[in-house]
Amino acid sequence: MVEITEVERRSRAAKAKIKPGDMLLSINGNDIQDVLDYRFYLAEERVELSLERNGKPFSVTIKKDEYDDIGLCFATALMDQKQSCRNKCVFCFIDQLPSGMRDTLYFKDDDARLSFLHGNYITLTNLSERDVERIIHMHISPINISVHTTNPDLRVSMMKNKHAGESLRHLYRLAEAGVEIHGQIVLCRGINDGRELDRTLSDLAALYPAVSSVSIVPAGLTKHREGLHPLTMFTGEECAAVIDQVEVVASRLYEQNGSRVFFCGDEFYLAAGRELPDEEFYEGYPQLENGVGMITSLRTEFADWQTYDAAPGECRREVSIATGVAAYPLMQEVAAKMEQAFAGLTVHVYEIKNHFFGESITVAGLLTAKDIIEQLQGKPLGETLLWPAAVLRSEGDMFLDDQTPREVEAALGCPLCFVENDGAALAAAILGEE
């Protein structure tokens, strides 16, 4: 049973006399508890809705094209509350946040519905047998799963949840049913690396093709780890060893099946001083949002823009780019090529170190307005300052430390331009084009 908060004007639901405040009970006899039930059972050409108004039941029948919406709105996108995480992972980034930040940053979600709708990763510890059966019945795919290790005892230890080991059965059940799975291994030095990583890679490789891609990324460690499990960063040599270890399995799978399945995050290559692989290596970037292939993707898009879209000439313009330590060399490379191609163009590139979380955090998406302002004040910025859009929350209106773009603009005396992780978009922004 879900409350309807709004009915769109002139929609099929409005024409059927459904009103805000009505309770939706079922569609074609199927109980409705959340958005997955609603979307799945609504996908019919004829739907009978059982509803309740002021405690009195009634029903309406609506005819439509199979996947058409009917115009009902609900209080939340999930039509339910988010499921919070029940784990206490030794590497959890949220536990490493300093106090005093906005409340939403401290919420740990572990909701399978968000995995399907928005690509969030789940640990499986929140899933019941009914949840798994529903995923299979509704053909919900792909599902993103934080695996970390396939050793049940080690998983319990890493996630501080007595059910973390037994919940792996859901992974094998979903794979058996043919649900596509994208996995994630957050690698912690001295815990789930070495032989334990070999075991995890082997176990997940056996689930191919259901397990279609797996990212291996290093645990992000901030300077706010007081009272938390002692973790240390991988050395450059150890990062190189991890890449080689993963590549042994990935190369074998590529020869057997035409897919590597396992991909190390960009951070491993950068820390190891290794050249990043080319675009073909990443097989369409299935783990791009997990920091796997982001630098190669942007570099390739920029190169394609140079080849097919760029028209070198004159551009009397001075701009600046600010980014994190990880992407700084690439931004320097892009700026140099742009200045070479366009006479009169000046591009300043600034590397922003993460003092807020600690300098071991090198990705641009975790930079705060405070660090940006402190490190750019007094620097030549030109007519606009370009920033990766990832520094803002999803609504695009606030940095991690609750400052707004307007506040940063006022402090620096320069307008900001936020650019998605796209090489062609970056080039256009540098030139001041739409």
Identify the CA nearest to 219 among candidates 271, 168, 261: 271
Given a cut of 80, whether residue 314 has pLDDT beyond it is yes
Distance of CA 298 to the CA centre of its chain: 17
pLDDT, tens only, 107-126: 888 877 777 777 889 999 99
Q: Is CATH 1.10.10 the right assignment for the domain spanning 94-291?
A: no
Q: Round to whole Å and give the CA distance between 315 and 338.
A: 10
Phi, psi values for residue 58, rounded to 5°: -155, 170
Given a cut of 90, whether residue 105 has pLDDT beyond it is no
Distance of CA 421 to the CA centre of its chain: 13
CB–CB of 32/40 below 8 Å?
A: no
Distances from the Cα of 43 to the Cαs of 35, 114, 217, 220, 296, in angstroms? 12, 20, 38, 41, 39
Helices (H), 221-368: 236-257, 266-272, 294-308, 328-341
pLDDT, tens only, 362-417: 999 999 999 999 999 999 999 999 999 999 987 888 999 999 999 999 999 999 99
Of all residues in the chain, what percent carry a pLDDT higher than 70?
Answer: 100
- Give the pLDDT of residue 407: 96
pLDDT, tens only, 242-264: 999 999 999 999 999 999 999 99
Residue 375 burial (10 A CB sphere; 0-12, 13-18, 19+): middle
- Give the pLDDT of residue 107: 80
pLDDT, tens only, 161-175: 999 999 999 999 999
Give me the DSSP letters along 340-398. HHEEEEEEEEEEPP-TTT-TT---GGG--HHHHHHHHTTS--TT-EEEEGGGB-TTSS-
Given a cut of 90, whether residue 95 has pLDDT beyond it is yes
Which long-range contacts link 431-434 to residues 24+ away (Cβ below 8 Å)?
Answer: 431/315, 431/317, 431/338, 431/342, 431/345, 432/315, 432/317, 432/319, 432/383, 432/384
- Give the pLDDT of residue 308: 87
The two tokens of residue 258 are 């035409």
- Evaluate whether 2-74 and 94-291 have a shared fold: no
- Give the pLDDT of residue 82: 80
Least confident of 82-96, 276-290, 406-420: 82-96
Of all residues in the chain, what percent carry a pLDDT higher than 90?
Answer: 84
CATH fit for domain 298-431, picks 2.40.128, 3.40.50, 1.10.150, 3.40.1350:
3.40.50
- Give the pLDDT of residue 16: 95
Phi, psi values for residue 21, rounded to 5°: 95, -20
DSSP summary character for residue 180: -
3-state helix, strand, coil in the chain (%, to 5): 35, 20, 45
- Give the pLDDT of residue 325: 95
Domains of the chain by residue range:
2-74, 94-291, 298-431
Mean pLDDT taken over the chain: 94
In the CATH scheme, what is the homologous superfamily, with its name and number, of domain 2-74?
PDZ domain (2.30.42.10)
Question: Identity (one letter) of the amino acid at 108?
Answer: K
